[in-house]
Amino acid sequence: MGTNASDATLEMLPVERIERNPENPRLYFRPGELETLQHSIAQHGIQVPINVYRKGSRYILIDGERRWKCALKLNLKKVPALVQDEPSQLTNILLMFNIHALREQWDLLTIAVKLPRVLALLEKETGRPPVEQEIIDKTGLNRSAIRRCKLLIELPEMYREQLLEELHKPKSQQKLTEDFFIEMERALKTCERAMPGLIDNKNKARDIIIKKYRNGVVKDLVDLRLLPRIAKAEKVGANTQLAASALQRILSQNDYSIEAGYEDTVSWAYSERDIVQRITTIVERLEDIEPDEMEADVLKALRDLQKRIQRLLGSVR
Amino acid sequence: MTYRILSQSLWPLADAVKKYLRDDRGLSPIKIEKEIAQDVPRPILHALAVDRGIVCVDFLEDSCFGPNVQTFVTTCKSRQLPVRLYIGYPEGSEKVSFGRDLRCARELGVGVISISSRGSITVISEPISLVLSDVRPQDAKEFPPKYRGDLNQALQTYLQGNPVKGCLVIYEMIEALTRRIAKKLHTQKLIAPWQSKAPKLETGSWFNIADTIYKNLDFKKAPDLTQPLWAQVIAITKPRNEAGHEPKTIAERVKRDKELRTRFETAGDLLRNLVEATQNWGV
Q: Which of B7, B33, B93 sits opposite A34 (nearest CB)?
A: B7
Order of strands, sheet of B31-32, starting from the edge strand that comes earlier in the sequence: B31-32, B45-48, B54-59, B83-90, B111-115, B121-125
B9:A28 CB<8 A: yes
pLDDT of residue A27: 61
pLDDT of residue A105: 61
- C-alpha to C-alpha distance for B71 and B57, rounded to whole angstroms: 15
pLDDT of residue A28: 64
Right CATH number for A5-152 from 3.90.1530.10, 3.40.50.1370, 3.40.50.720, 3.40.640.10? 3.90.1530.10
Listed ranges A167-176, A202-211, B69-78; the one with the highest mean pLDDT: A202-211
CA A188 from chain centre, in angstroms, equals 16
Query: How far is B249 from chain A, CA to nearest CA, in Å?
Result: 22
The low-confidence residues of chain B, meaning pLDDT below 70, are 1, 63-64, 192-198, 241-245
- What DSSP state is assigned to residue A9? E
Strand A58-63 versus strand A50-55 pairing type: antiparallel
Taking the alpha carbons of B188, B193, B196, B197 in that order, is the dihedral positive or negative?
positive
A167 closest CA partner among B114, B10, B15: B10
Q: Does B7 touch chain A (CB under 8 A)?
A: yes
pLDDT of residue B18: 97
**Residue ranges per structural domain of chain A:** 5-152, 176-269
B7:A42 CB<8 A: no
- Select the more confidently predicted residue: A304 or A34: A304
User: Of A134-138, A252-256, B94-98, B254-258, where does mean pLDDT reach its minimum?
Assistant: B94-98
Q: CA–CA distance from A272 to each of A85, A236, A267, A284 (Å)? A: 65, 9, 9, 18
The chain-wide mean pLDDT, for chain A, equals: 89
A158 closest CA partner among A171, A176, A145, A173: A176
pLDDT of residue A139: 86
What number of residues does chain A have?
317
B161 closest CA partner among B110, B127, B111: B127
Name the class of domain B8-125.
Answer: alpha beta
Q: CA–CA distance from B63 to each of A36, A156, A171, B69 (Å)? A: 16, 36, 12, 12
Phi, psi of B64 (to 5 degrees): -80, 130
- C-alpha to C-alpha distance for B96 and B64, rounded to whole angstroms: 9
Band of residue A317 on the pLDDT scale cut at 50, 70, 90: low
Query: Across the strands, what pairs with A52?
Result: A61, A83
**For B9, which residue in chain A has the nearest alpha carbon?**
A168
Assess whether pLDDT exceeds 80 at residue A172.
no
Residues 6+ apart with CB under 8 A from A129: A119, A123
pLDDT of residue B199: 72
pLDDT of residue B92: 83
Query: How far is A248 from chain B, CA to nearest CA, in Å?
Result: 34
What number of residues does chain B have?
283
B42:A72 CB<8 A: yes
- C-alpha to C-alpha distance for B63 and B93, rounded to whole angstroms: 6
pLDDT of residue A51: 92
pTM for the whole structure:
0.68
Query: Across the strands, what pairs with A151?
Result: none
Assess whether pLDDT exceeds 60 at residue A312.
yes
Q: Does B97 touch chain A (CB under 8 A)?
A: no
Assess whether pLDDT exceeds 60 at residue A1.
no
